[in-house]
Structure 1
Amino acid sequence: MTTTTTNIATTTGTASTNIPTTTTNIDTMADDMTSKDMATTTTNIRTTPTNIPTTITNIPTTTTNIPTTTTTMPAKSVALSPTTTTTTTSNRIMPAKSTTTSTTTTTIPTTTTSTCRKPGVEYPLSINYGELRDALDRGAVMLVDVRQPWELKQTGRLPWSVNLPLDQLESAIQLSENEFMEKYGFPKPEPEDTNVVLTCRSGRRVRMAWNILEPLGYCNVRLYFGSLVDWKANGGPLL
């Protein structure tokens, strides 16, 4: 007969002690006994239990307080070299470049534009052969021939006419009365005069003369459009 006793482990705290339990094997030997004998013979088998004191060893739990050491490492102060920004300012004053601009002043003679035209009047004013012949006979007009002097000698000129070449007309009008008289030998026509008549060879140059005189206020000047050609055609005398 085999009796098995389980190991009892008592754990206290953090230490565990295994206490072995003694197992006693009680073997009843009845090999020499027969079944018959066993029937009549009572064998008191005393089981002697082995008192196995259970020893519980109190293992004190030792709590070791390990102090936590906080080591404060001093921050290593690293002094950084300050960044030096060097700004170089040039105080050199650049001399201002002097630019000389040449100003050319052109003096343009001021031409006064006349408003001498009258409403409802057709300009330029004109005169025909008969009107001119009558006015010359009465001495009521100043007849100005704008041809060149050599033409007058070559083809003749109208009676009582004076000569002022077309290419000198504009500058002649700018002269004073005395200067004009000295140069051309007759009185200088004025814008307000109503007795001035222009003539040429065929009438073309008197129109050009009008374009010069009209802006200067000579709106009363009359043009003999037929000029020398018409004068001769009507049998007018020549000098």
Structure 2
Amino acid sequence: MRTIIFIISVLFLHGKCEQDQTIQDEKRPFEIPLLEFESVVKSGNALVIDVREPDEVYEVRVDAKNYVNVPLKQVGSSLQLSAGEFEKTYGVKKPSLDDDVVFICRSGKRSLTALKEARGLAFERSQHFVGGHLGWIANHPDLVVREKEENEKTRRKDEF
């Protein structure tokens, strides 16, 4: 009898471990490496969510094909909006729980906070770029948008 109970226990635990492994496989690592982030930026395969404040974004931002600015203080509430409300508010399609999402900020601290909040809301395929915009600009100064500079150039041209 003890042998039967032991075998059943082992089979149960083995099945639970396999199930836990499947759940873990669906999660992404917290940090996305530079080369993988470069691919995301160029391809648009994931939504890049910049969690900096709008005035920071106005200075410079990553030139990603699939990009939105959602300040950190709005991340939790924005991810709980309906798909229609999210798109109406932010101008892009709301990510589903199965979509890849990458958070970015200036240096990595706010994006990690946003990532933890998203993971808490079951966005298990979300990651953050730990180098932030500082790391991105250092490696890819050609793949940024500098709205402030562009607007100032346009304003100067208009003055003449």
Cα distance in 2 between the residues matched to 1:122 and 1:184:
26
CA 1:182/1:125 → structure 2, altered by over 3 Å: closer, same or farther? Answer: same
SS at match of 2:140: coil
2:46 to 133, 137, 141: 141
- Is the counterpart of residue 183 in structure 1 residue 89 in structure 2? yes
Superposition RMSD in Å: 2.2
Deviations 1:41-99 (A, max 9, x none): xxxxxxxxxxxxxxxxxxxxxxxxxxxxxxxxxxxxxxxxxxxxxxxxxxxxxxxxxxx
Q: CA deviation at 1:216?
A: 1.1
Q: How does 1:133-172 map to 2 (within 5 A)?
A: 133-154=38-59, 156-160=60-64, 161-172=67-78
SS at match of 1:125: coil
Instruction: Name the structure where helix makes up a greater proportion of residues.
Output: 2
SS at match of 2:62: coil
Cα distance in 2 between the residues matched to 1:119 and 1:192:
14
CA 1:165/1:133 → structure 2, altered by over 3 Å: closer, same or farther? Answer: same
Q: CA deviation at 1:229?
A: 1.1
Larger Rg: 1
Cα distance in 1 between the residues matched to 2:24 and 2:144:
37
SS at match of 2:123: coil
Q: CA deviation at 1:203?
A: 0.1
Q: CA deviation at 1:199?
A: 0.4
Conservation of the 8 A alpha-carbon contact between 1:124 and 1:219: no
Unaligned runs of at least 5 residues, structure 2 = 1-19, 146-160
Over the matched positions of the two proteins, sequence identity in percent amounts to: 32
Cα distance in 2 between the residues matched to 1:135 and 1:146:
17
Deviations 1:115-170 (A, max 9, x none): 9x93478864321222111232222221110101111112x000023101110111
State the AA in 2 paired with 1:180.
Answer: F
Q: How does 1:1-239 map to 2 (within 5 A)?
A: 118-119=23-24, 124-154=29-59, 156-160=60-64, 161-193=67-99, 195-236=100-141, 237-239=143-145
Q: TM-score, normalised by structure 2?
A: 0.68
Tell me how many residue pairs correspond in the alignment: 122
State the AA in 2 paired with 1:219.
Answer: E
